[in-house]
Structure formats: structure tokens, C-alpha cells
Amino acid sequence: MGIWWAVAVSPDGTEVWVGHNEDGGISIIDVATSKVKEVVKLAQMPIRLKFTPDGSKVLVSDPKAGEFIVIDAKTRKEIKRLKAEGTPVGIQLQPDGKRAFVARMEAGNVGVFDLEKMEFVATINPGEGPDGMAWATAKN
């Protein structure tokens, strides 16, 4: 199976998706049985996986191919594949699921991906080597 790196749990808690760095596969594990029910191969190195809040899509960073991939979570088919500036790594979703933020390490920026338009719509320049991100909200 290769080295497992990326891990994402479906919002309904029924599946765990695990990316393999060595062979590019993604194992889809049924939580109820703890068994791999399917392996899909849509990337070269799926280093990060992230479900959209509604569970309809899985976002994939593939630094080896330099691509950002959107997968239909139900059909396991590719919806969109884009070349990403720099090396795509960390992914963070806006809580409403309308935009994803994709850290592009070598470019030193974060691409803002619009999930309705299915394209990068803006760039944020936080400095060198962005990767892990978190969402924070202010408390009044």
C-alpha cells in the first residue's frame, strides 16, 4: 500500500480516506467494518486530503505532480484538476465550504480556490514556505 500520509474523515463519519505517498493511491475505509472498501488512484502523491463540509467533494494536494484535484466523494471520479503554482500542500476550508485555501510552499503563497467557479480566484502572500493552516473566529 505504500506510506500513508494524508487522512480525512467524511463529515458523516462513515468513511476514512487515506492517501499513499509511495504509489499515489487513496484507500477508502469503511468505518463500520474497518476494511478498505476501495482504492482509487487519481494522484501521484496525495499528501493532503480534505472533505468539503457537506461531504460531497474531497480536495487533494499532489505536490509531486504540482496539482490540486477535486474529487466527487460519492462516485470517486475527478471533477477538476489544476496545475498549482509552486508546490501544493496544506488545505483549509472556509466553514461554509465555498472556498478552499491551498498552501503553495515553493511559491510562498496561498491560493484561494472558489468551489463554485472551480478555479483559483485570489492569492494571499504570507511569506516563505506556507503549509499547515487553521480556521479561527473571533469571540465577542
**How large a percentage of the chain has pLDDT more than 90?**
76
Half-sphere exposure (Cβ direction) of 127: Cα atoms closer than 13 Å: 0
**Distance (Å, rounded) from C-alpha 17 to C-alpha 105?**
23
CATH of 4-124, one of 3.20.20.80, 2.40.40.20, 1.25.10.10, 2.130.10.10: 2.130.10.10
pLDDT tens, residue by residue, 25-42: 999 999 999 999 999 999
pLDDT tens readout for residues 109-122: 999 999 999 999 99
Q: Which of 82, 50, 89, 47 is nearest to 67 (CA)?
A: 82
55 or 130, higher pLDDT = 55
The predicted structure's pLDDT at residue 4: 53
Q: Strand pairing partners for 73?
A: none
- pTM beyond 0.95: no
Domain range annotation of the chain: 4-124
Q: How much is the average pLDDT of 65-79?
A: 97
Q: How confident is the model at residue 3 (pLDDT cuts 50, 70, 90)?
A: low
Please, which residues have CB within 8 angstroms of residue 46's CB and are 6 or more apart in sequence?
A: 5, 6, 19, 20, 21, 24, 25, 26, 60, 61, 62
| C-alpha cell belonging to residue 122 | 485570489
